[in-house]
Amino acid sequence: MKFIHIADMHIDSAFLNLSDKDIMGDLRRLEQRKVFKKIIDYIKENNIEYMFISGDLYEHKYIKQSSIEYINNLFKEIPQTKIFIAAGNHDPKVKNSYYNKFNWNENVKIFNSYIEKIEMPDCNIYGYSFDDFYCENCGIEDISLLQNGKPNILVIHGNLDGAKNDDKPYNPISRKVLEEKGFDYVALGHIHKADYSKNQKIVYPGSTVSLGFDELGEHGMIVGSLDNELNLEFVPLDDEEFTIKELNVDNIYSKEELIENINNLNIKQNTYVEIILVGGRNFEIDKYDILKFIQNDRIIKIKDETKMSRDLEKISNESTLRGLFVKDMMKRLENEEDLERKNILEKAIEIGLDALE
């Protein structure tokens, strides 16, 4: 039998913290559709018999019916492929979810909130869906596997070896329990970093499409075959890769010079780049203002992690207006415990010093 395994696609995600450019959310949502179409085309071209979707296929809060219809119309293109969906914490099978109220194509099986066993001609499929945004225990400990000579496959969304006493539990599952049960393949979802090897039985495919700069590297799907033995392959799908570049500003003394340095960076095609500014800044940096002048549209976000390079202690001892100003502001800094307000005060010092110079 041949299968593909995907998870954590998060279709119609808001991408709220992805970029400092408004258009990026729309571009990534279009990329999600493009990637899903690539998956279906791969299934058709390679005669894949099973498709396992291990949760968080879409975002319950943001999903549009038109997107559900788009997904289901693609499912109609592969009528010979059996599709098994285990809802996760971002697409739980709650009462008003599209898993309940939409008329899915007949080749689609969406699991319920108890572990189901489905005997297929060449394998046994087990699955479980979240029916809420959190899950403390799916009951995997109590299940007994069918002993009919067919491979046993579990499709589930969960936190492998996660703590059951977490404030927000996402179906903690014990690796030891899964191994003791003897599943031939466990199609997991929830962790966005791929965890697999050629013959590994308990697998996270990672997020199908990168959701941002905390998900660097390649993203795609697991393609597997399971007859006498298990063979897995990772197939990249996301044409865009997220990367991070650091730029030290120690020797940069103006906004114009900083813009020139960023514009001169060597940026690869098919990458989205976040620039992290580090070092000691010699002038006030407004990252949103800087971004407006960046010529390369592959740079979509700037993060300012610089520190003031001015010697405030030395300036505060001056018998000048700026000395008195810095002395007063330093007292406020010392008495302020809130980090965000400290950052605001530091910015105020910079603006004041720029005005007094």
- From CA 12, how far away is CA 34, in angstroms rounded? 13
Q: Is 63 left (phi over 0), alpha (psi -120 to 50) or beta?
A: beta
Decide: 283 and 254 in contact? Cβ < 8 Å.
yes
pLDDT-derived band at 22 (thresholds 50, 70, 90) equals confident
Count of the separate structural domains present in the chain: 2
pLDDT-derived band at 107 (thresholds 50, 70, 90) equals very high
Q: Is the pLDDT of residue 108 over 70?
A: yes
The mean per-residue pLDDT over the stretch 73-98 comes to 98
| Residue 80: CATH number of its domain | 3.60.21.10
- From CA 87, how far away is CA 91, in angstroms rounded? 6
The mean per-residue pLDDT over the stretch 313-317 comes to 90
pLDDT at 347: 81
- From CA 5, how far away is CA 81, in angstroms rounded? 13
- From CA 29, how far away is CA 11, in angstroms rounded? 7
The mean per-residue pLDDT over the stretch 42-61 comes to 98
Q: Which of 201, 236, 271 is the last residue of a domain?
A: 236
Q: Are residues 33 and 155 in the same domain?
A: yes
Q: Is the pLDDT of residue 164 over 70?
A: no
Q: Are residues 221 and 252 in the same domain?
A: no
pLDDT at 288: 92
Q: Are residues 169 and 140 in the same domain?
A: yes
At what angle are helices 339-356 and 321-335 packed, to 10 degrees? 180
Q: Is the pLDDT of residue 167 over 70?
A: no
Rounded percentage of the chain residues whose pLDDT exceeds 70: 99
pLDDT at 283: 85
Q: Are residues 226 and 253 in the same domain?
A: no
- From CA 283, how far away is CA 347, in angstroms rounded? 10
Decide: 9 and 36 in contact? Cβ < 8 Å.
yes
Q: Are residues 193 and 279 in the same domain?
A: no
User: For 159, which DSSP code?
Assistant: E
Q: Is the pLDDT of residue 248 over 60?
A: yes
**Residue appearing with tokens 């109609």:** 76
Q: Which domain holds residue 311?
A: 241-356
DSSP symbols for 55-67: S-SB-TTT--HHH
What end-to-end distance do the CA atoms of the chain give, in Å?
74
Q: Are residues 306 and 184 in the same domain?
A: no
- From CA 108, how far away is CA 96, in angstroms rounded? 18
pLDDT-derived band at 354 (thresholds 50, 70, 90) equals confident
Q: Are residues 287 and 222 in the same domain?
A: no
Q: Are residues 289 and 227 in the same domain?
A: no
pLDDT-derived band at 356 (thresholds 50, 70, 90) equals confident
3-state DSSP assignment of residue 175? helix
Q: For 28-33, which contacts have Cβ atoms below 8 Å and span 24 or more sequence positions?
A: 28/209, 28/211, 31/209, 31/238, 31/239, 31/240, 32/209, 33/67, 33/70
pLDDT at 37: 98
Most distant CA pair in the chain, distance:
89
Cα dist. 258→147, 249, 296, 303, 309 in Å?
Answer: 67, 8, 14, 13, 15
Q: Is the pLDDT of residue 165 over 60?
A: no
Q: Are residues 262 and 320 in the same domain?
A: yes
Q: Which of 209, 236, 263 is the last residue of a domain?
A: 236
Contacts of 128 (CB under 8 A, 6+ apart): 86, 111, 112, 113, 114, 115, 116, 138, 139, 140, 155, 156, 157, 171
Dump pLDDT digits (tens) for 281-300.
888 899 999 999 999 999 99
The mean per-residue pLDDT over the stretch 29-45 comes to 97
Q: Are residues 177 and 277 in the same domain?
A: no
pLDDT at 166: 67
pLDDT at 202: 98
Q: Are residues 224 and 307 in the same domain?
A: no
Q: Is the pLDDT of residue 16 over 90?
A: no
Q: Which of 219, 236, 253 is the last residue of a domain?
A: 236
Q: Is the pLDDT of residue 168 over 80?
A: no
Q: Are strands 159-160 and 116-119 parallel, antiparallel or unpaired?
A: unpaired
Q: Are residues 248 and 227 in the same domain?
A: no
Cα dist. 147→120, 144, 150, 151, 181 in Å?
Answer: 13, 9, 7, 9, 12
- From CA 285, how far away is CA 252, in angstroms rounded? 11
Q: Is the pLDDT of residue 232 over 80?
A: yes
Q: Is the pLDDT of residue 332 over 60?
A: yes
